[in-house]
Amino acid sequence: MSRTVYVNGDYLPEEDAKISVFDRGFLMADAVYEVTSVIDGKMLDFAGHATRLMRSLGEIDMKAPCSIDELEAIHREMIKRNDLTEGLIYLQVTRGIADRDFVYPDVEPSMVLFTQAKSVVNSLIAKHGMKVISIPDIRWGRRDIKTVQLLAPSMGKMAAKAAGADDAWLVEDGFVTEGTSNNAYIVKQDGTIVTRDLSHDILSGITREAVLRFAAEAQIKVEERPFTIEEAKQAKEAFVTSATTFVGPVVEIDGVMIGDGKVGDTARRLREIYISESLKTAI
Q: Which residues are catalytic?
A: 146
Minimum Å gap between C-beta 204 and ligand PDD is 8
Report which residue type is found at 89: I
Among 115, 134, 147, 181, which residue interacts with ligand PDD (rule: CB under 6 A)?
181
Report which residue type is found at 70: E
The 226-255 site mask, x for binding ligand PDD (CB under 6 A), equals ---------------xxxx-----------
Tell me whether residue 115 or residue 244 sits nearer to ligand PDD (CB atom).
Answer: 244
Binding of residue 183 to ligand PDD (CB under 6 A): yes
Backbone angles phi, psi at 38, to 5 degrees: -130, 125
Q: How many residues of this chain bind ligand PDD (CB under 6 A)?
A: 14
Binding of residue 110 to ligand PDD (CB under 6 A): no
Binding of residue 177 to ligand PDD (CB under 6 A): no
The 200-229 site mask, x for binding ligand PDD (CB under 6 A), equals ---x-xxxx---------------------
Pair 96, 107: CB distance under 8 Å: yes
Q: What whole-number distance in Å separates Cα of residue 180 and Cα of residue 143?
A: 11
Q: Which stretch binds ligand PDD (CB under 6 A): 179-187, 189-197, 220-228, 271-279?
A: 179-187
Binding of residue 182 to ligand PDD (CB under 6 A): yes
Q: What whole-number distance in Å separates Cα of residue 277 and Cα of residue 116?
A: 23
Minimum Å gap between C-beta 6 and ligand PDD is 18
Query: Considering only residues 51-90, where is the footprint of ligand PDD by CB under 6 A?
Result: none
Residues in Cβ contact with 58 at an 8 Å cutoff, skipping those fewer than 6 apart: none
Binding of residue 155 to ligand PDD (CB under 6 A): no
Minimum Å gap between C-beta 181 and ligand PDD is 4
Tell me whether residue 17 or residue 206 sits nearer to ligand PDD (CB atom).
Answer: 206
Question: Buried b / exposed e across 9-41, counting CB within 10 Å, b at 16+?
Answer: eebeeeeebeeeeebbbbbeebbbbbbbbbbee
Query: Considering only residues 23-52, where is the footprint of ligand PDD by CB under 6 A?
Result: 35
258 in helix, strand or coil? coil
Distances (CA, A) of 115 to 28, 112, 154, 260: 24, 11, 20, 37
Q: What whole-number distance in Å separates Cα of residue 232 and Cα of residue 139?
A: 22
Q: What whole-number distance in Å separates Cα of residue 252 and Cα of residue 92?
A: 33
Residues at the contact surface with ligand PDD, assessed by CB under 6 A:
35, 178, 181-183, 203, 205-208, 241-244
